[in-house]
Amino acid sequence: MKALAVVSIAALDLRRHPSHRSELRSQLLLGELVSVRSLARGGQWARIENHGDGYRGWARTWGLRSLSEGEAEEWKRRARWRVAQRHVEVRSGPGGGSIVTPLFWNSAVAIVASRGAFSKLSLPDGSEGWVPRRVLRASVRPAGSLMRLIRDFHGIPYLWGGRTPLGFDCSGFVQQVMAAVGLSLPRDAHEQFLFCRERPITRSPRPGDLLFFGRRGGRMTHVAIALGGGSFGHARGTVRVNSLLEANPLYDKVLARSLRAIGRPEPGLRHSC
Protein backbone atom coordinates (compact mmCIF):
# COMPACT_ATOMS: atom_id res chain seq x y z
CA MET A 1 0.00 0.00 0.00
CA LYS A 2 1.25 3.50 -0.81
CA ALA A 3 -1.13 6.45 -0.81
CA LEU A 4 -0.77 10.21 -0.43
CA ALA A 5 -2.02 12.39 2.39
CA VAL A 6 -1.59 15.86 3.86
CA VAL A 7 -1.26 16.71 7.55
CA SER A 8 -4.53 18.37 8.53
CA ILE A 9 -3.97 19.30 12.20
CA ALA A 10 -1.52 21.78 13.73
CA ALA A 11 1.00 19.14 14.86
CA LEU A 12 0.88 15.37 14.43
CA ASP A 13 3.15 13.12 16.50
CA LEU A 14 5.28 10.59 14.64
CA ARG A 15 6.04 7.54 16.81
CA ARG A 16 8.33 4.52 16.52
CA HIS A 17 5.44 2.05 16.86
CA PRO A 18 1.64 2.42 16.47
CA SER A 19 0.99 3.33 20.11
CA HIS A 20 0.79 6.54 22.13
CA ARG A 21 3.20 4.91 24.59
CA SER A 22 5.84 4.49 21.92
CA GLU A 23 8.84 6.83 21.53
CA LEU A 24 8.13 10.20 19.93
CA ARG A 25 10.42 10.25 16.89
CA SER A 26 9.32 13.52 15.29
CA GLN A 27 6.33 15.72 14.60
CA LEU A 28 4.60 16.71 11.39
CA LEU A 29 3.30 20.21 10.73
CA LEU A 30 0.00 21.16 9.15
CA GLY A 31 0.33 21.24 5.38
CA GLU A 32 3.16 18.71 5.04
CA LEU A 33 2.68 15.97 2.44
CA VAL A 34 3.31 12.33 3.31
CA SER A 35 3.12 8.88 1.78
CA VAL A 36 1.04 6.33 3.66
CA ARG A 37 2.84 2.98 3.47
CA SER A 38 0.60 0.80 5.63
CA LEU A 39 -2.18 0.88 8.24
CA ALA A 40 -2.51 -0.76 11.66
CA ARG A 41 -5.06 -1.18 14.47
CA GLY A 42 -8.15 -1.06 12.32
CA GLY A 43 -6.93 1.91 10.33
CA GLN A 44 -6.30 4.13 13.38
CA TRP A 45 -2.54 4.33 12.77
CA ALA A 46 -0.65 4.90 9.52
CA ARG A 47 3.02 4.20 8.82
CA ILE A 48 4.04 7.25 6.86
CA GLU A 49 7.02 8.86 5.14
CA ASN A 50 7.37 12.64 5.24
CA HIS A 51 7.99 13.97 1.71
CA GLY A 52 10.03 16.88 3.05
CA ASP A 53 12.75 14.93 4.86
CA GLY A 54 12.08 11.24 4.17
CA TYR A 55 11.49 10.50 7.86
CA ARG A 56 9.28 7.52 8.67
CA GLY A 57 7.14 6.54 11.63
CA TRP A 58 3.61 5.89 12.84
CA ALA A 59 0.96 8.62 13.12
CA ARG A 60 -2.73 8.66 14.00
CA THR A 61 -4.89 8.83 10.91
CA TRP A 62 -7.09 11.45 12.58
CA GLY A 63 -4.45 14.02 11.57
CA LEU A 64 -4.25 13.04 7.91
CA ARG A 65 -6.41 13.76 4.88
CA SER A 66 -6.06 11.42 1.91
CA LEU A 67 -5.24 12.98 -1.46
CA SER A 68 -5.02 11.88 -5.05
CA GLU A 69 -1.81 12.65 -6.94
CA GLY A 70 -3.53 15.56 -8.62
CA GLU A 71 -4.78 16.95 -5.32
CA ALA A 72 -1.30 16.65 -3.81
CA GLU A 73 0.23 18.58 -6.70
CA GLU A 74 -2.50 21.20 -6.42
CA TRP A 75 -1.85 21.58 -2.67
CA LYS A 76 1.89 22.06 -3.30
CA ARG A 77 1.09 24.72 -5.89
CA ARG A 78 -1.32 26.60 -3.61
CA ALA A 79 0.41 26.24 -0.24
CA ARG A 80 3.04 28.89 -0.99
CA TRP A 81 2.89 30.62 2.40
CA ARG A 82 4.50 29.82 5.74
CA VAL A 83 3.60 30.83 9.28
CA ALA A 84 6.27 33.34 10.32
CA GLN A 85 5.77 33.48 14.10
CA ARG A 86 5.79 30.88 16.87
CA HIS A 87 2.03 30.39 17.05
CA VAL A 88 -1.06 31.92 15.51
CA GLU A 89 -4.79 31.22 15.88
CA VAL A 90 -6.84 30.94 12.71
CA ARG A 91 -10.19 32.64 13.39
CA SER A 92 -13.55 32.36 11.68
CA GLY A 93 -13.55 36.07 10.87
CA PRO A 94 -10.97 38.77 10.08
CA GLY A 95 -9.76 39.91 13.48
CA GLY A 96 -12.15 37.81 15.57
CA GLY A 97 -14.61 34.96 15.80
CA SER A 98 -14.16 31.38 16.95
CA ILE A 99 -10.85 29.52 16.68
CA VAL A 100 -10.65 27.30 13.61
CA THR A 101 -7.21 25.87 14.44
CA PRO A 102 -3.87 26.93 15.87
CA LEU A 103 -0.86 26.98 13.56
CA PHE A 104 2.84 26.63 14.37
CA TRP A 105 5.91 28.24 12.85
CA ASN A 106 6.77 27.06 9.30
CA SER A 107 3.36 25.46 8.69
CA ALA A 108 2.29 25.54 5.03
CA VAL A 109 -0.95 27.30 4.13
CA ALA A 110 -2.77 28.70 1.08
CA ILE A 111 -4.17 32.24 0.89
CA VAL A 112 -7.52 32.52 -0.92
CA ALA A 113 -8.59 36.10 -0.11
CA SER A 114 -7.56 39.29 1.67
CA ARG A 115 -9.45 41.96 3.59
CA GLY A 116 -7.54 44.91 4.95
CA ALA A 117 -4.71 43.64 7.17
CA PHE A 118 -6.04 40.07 7.19
CA SER A 119 -5.67 37.03 4.92
CA LYS A 120 -8.17 34.22 4.47
CA LEU A 121 -6.55 30.77 4.50
CA SER A 122 -7.60 27.52 2.91
CA LEU A 123 -6.60 24.63 5.18
CA PRO A 124 -5.89 21.00 4.24
CA ASP A 125 -9.10 19.67 5.83
CA GLY A 126 -11.20 21.94 3.61
CA SER A 127 -11.95 24.55 6.28
CA GLU A 128 -11.13 28.25 5.97
CA GLY A 129 -10.22 30.99 8.41
CA TRP A 130 -8.48 34.32 8.89
CA VAL A 131 -5.10 35.45 10.25
CA PRO A 132 -3.25 38.79 10.26
CA ARG A 133 -1.29 39.06 7.03
CA ARG A 134 1.87 40.02 8.98
CA VAL A 135 2.16 36.51 10.47
CA LEU A 136 2.76 34.95 7.03
CA ARG A 137 5.72 34.95 4.68
CA ALA A 138 6.08 33.70 1.11
CA SER A 139 7.82 30.31 1.12
CA VAL A 140 10.50 31.63 -1.26
CA ARG A 141 11.40 34.52 1.08
CA PRO A 142 13.94 33.83 3.87
CA ALA A 143 12.61 34.55 7.35
CA GLY A 144 15.58 36.62 8.52
CA SER A 145 19.09 36.26 9.92
CA LEU A 146 20.14 33.11 11.76
CA MET A 147 21.02 35.11 14.86
CA ARG A 148 17.59 36.78 14.99
CA LEU A 149 15.75 33.51 14.43
CA ILE A 150 17.64 31.71 17.16
CA ARG A 151 17.24 34.55 19.65
CA ASP A 152 13.49 34.66 18.89
CA PHE A 153 13.24 31.08 20.20
CA HIS A 154 15.58 31.51 23.16
CA GLY A 155 14.32 29.56 26.18
CA ILE A 156 12.01 27.16 24.30
CA PRO A 157 12.29 23.83 26.17
CA TYR A 158 14.00 20.75 24.76
CA LEU A 159 11.61 17.99 23.73
CA TRP A 160 12.83 14.67 22.34
CA GLY A 161 11.28 14.41 18.87
CA GLY A 162 10.00 17.99 19.06
CA ARG A 163 9.68 20.07 15.94
CA THR A 164 7.43 22.95 17.06
CA PRO A 165 7.92 26.02 19.30
CA LEU A 166 6.28 24.10 22.13
CA GLY A 167 9.53 22.10 22.30
CA PHE A 168 12.41 21.23 19.97
CA ASP A 169 15.07 18.57 19.97
CA CYS A 170 18.48 19.58 18.63
CA SER A 171 18.09 18.37 15.05
CA GLY A 172 14.44 19.41 14.85
CA PHE A 173 15.44 22.95 15.82
CA VAL A 174 18.29 23.08 13.31
CA GLN A 175 16.05 21.65 10.59
CA GLN A 176 13.31 24.22 11.19
CA VAL A 177 15.68 27.21 11.45
CA MET A 178 17.44 26.27 8.22
CA ALA A 179 14.09 25.69 6.49
CA ALA A 180 13.11 29.24 7.45
CA VAL A 181 16.15 30.59 5.57
CA GLY A 182 15.47 28.41 2.53
CA LEU A 183 17.43 25.19 3.07
CA SER A 184 15.82 21.76 3.52
CA LEU A 185 17.70 19.36 5.80
CA PRO A 186 17.21 15.74 6.85
CA ARG A 187 15.63 15.11 10.25
CA ASP A 188 18.34 13.60 12.49
CA ALA A 189 21.76 14.98 13.50
CA HIS A 190 23.73 12.17 11.86
CA GLU A 191 21.75 12.42 8.63
CA GLN A 192 22.35 16.17 8.65
CA PHE A 193 26.08 15.44 9.00
CA LEU A 194 25.94 13.18 5.93
CA PHE A 195 24.23 16.04 4.06
CA CYS A 196 27.16 18.43 4.68
CA ARG A 197 30.52 19.11 3.09
CA GLU A 198 33.04 18.74 5.90
CA ARG A 199 35.20 21.74 6.73
CA PRO A 200 38.31 22.01 8.92
CA ILE A 201 37.53 22.04 12.63
CA THR A 202 38.06 25.50 14.07
CA ARG A 203 36.92 27.36 17.18
CA SER A 204 35.46 30.08 14.97
CA PRO A 205 33.41 28.45 12.19
CA ARG A 206 31.58 30.51 9.60
CA PRO A 207 27.98 31.62 10.28
CA GLY A 208 25.64 29.01 8.84
CA ASP A 209 28.06 26.10 9.29
CA LEU A 210 26.66 23.18 11.24
CA LEU A 211 28.55 21.85 14.26
CA PHE A 212 28.35 18.15 15.04
CA PHE A 213 29.07 16.55 18.39
CA GLY A 214 29.38 13.00 19.68
CA ARG A 215 31.70 10.25 20.82
CA ARG A 216 34.55 9.26 18.53
CA GLY A 217 33.69 6.20 16.48
CA GLY A 218 29.95 6.65 16.95
CA ARG A 219 27.14 8.54 15.30
CA MET A 220 26.69 12.29 15.62
CA THR A 221 24.37 12.86 18.57
CA HIS A 222 24.05 16.66 18.72
CA VAL A 223 23.98 19.47 16.17
CA ALA A 224 24.16 23.26 16.38
CA ILE A 225 24.29 26.26 14.03
CA ALA A 226 27.40 28.45 13.96
CA LEU A 227 26.69 32.17 14.38
CA GLY A 228 30.22 33.55 14.02
CA GLY A 229 32.87 34.50 16.55
CA GLY A 230 32.79 31.03 18.09
CA SER A 231 29.11 31.32 19.09
CA PHE A 232 26.50 28.76 18.16
CA GLY A 233 22.76 28.28 18.61
CA HIS A 234 21.21 24.96 19.57
CA ALA A 235 18.60 23.14 21.63
CA ARG A 236 20.09 21.54 24.74
CA GLY A 237 17.91 21.82 27.82
CA THR A 238 16.43 24.88 26.14
CA VAL A 239 17.10 26.77 22.93
CA ARG A 240 20.20 28.80 23.75
CA VAL A 241 23.40 30.37 22.48
CA ASN A 242 26.79 29.04 23.65
CA SER A 243 30.42 29.45 22.62
CA LEU A 244 33.40 27.31 21.69
CA LEU A 245 35.79 29.91 23.12
CA GLU A 246 36.96 29.51 26.73
CA ALA A 247 37.18 33.27 27.26
CA ASN A 248 33.49 33.72 26.45
CA PRO A 249 31.04 33.57 29.42
CA LEU A 250 28.80 31.35 27.26
CA TYR A 251 31.56 28.74 26.83
CA ASP A 252 30.21 25.15 26.95
CA LYS A 253 33.12 22.94 28.01
CA VAL A 254 31.29 19.64 27.49
CA LEU A 255 30.32 20.41 23.91
CA ALA A 256 33.61 22.10 23.03
CA ARG A 257 35.40 18.89 23.99
CA SER A 258 33.03 16.66 22.02
CA LEU A 259 33.05 18.66 18.74
CA ARG A 260 33.50 16.02 16.04
CA ALA A 261 32.91 17.83 12.75
CA ILE A 262 31.97 21.10 11.08
CA GLY A 263 29.97 20.98 7.87
CA ARG A 264 28.45 23.23 5.26
CA PRO A 265 25.03 22.04 4.08
CA GLU A 266 25.11 20.92 0.44
CA PRO A 267 21.86 19.60 -1.06
CA GLY A 268 22.20 16.13 -2.53
CA LEU A 269 25.47 15.25 -0.77
CA ARG A 270 25.82 12.01 1.15
CA HIS A 271 29.06 10.53 2.39
CA SER A 272 30.22 8.03 4.98
CA CYS A 273 31.98 8.92 8.22
104-126 per-position pLDDT tens digit: 999 999 999 999 999 999 999 99
pLDDT at 228: 94
Domain ranges of the chain: 3-75, 79-138, 146-265
pLDDT tens-digit map of 95-109? 999 999 999 999 999
Domains 79-138 and 146-265 belong to one CATH topology: no
Residue pair 26/14 in contact by the 8 Å Cβ criterion: yes
- What is the dotted CATH code of the domain comprising 79-138? 2.30.30.40
Q: How confident is the model at residue 217 (pLDDT cuts 50, 70, 90)?
A: confident
- What is the dotted CATH code of the domain comprising 146-265? 3.90.1720.10
pTM summary value: 0.94
Residue 97, classed as helix, strand or coil, is strand
Distance of CA 138 to the CA centre of its chain: 17
Q: What's the CA gap between 177 and 187, in Å, rounded?
A: 12
- Say if domain 3-75 classifies as CATH 2.30.30.40: yes
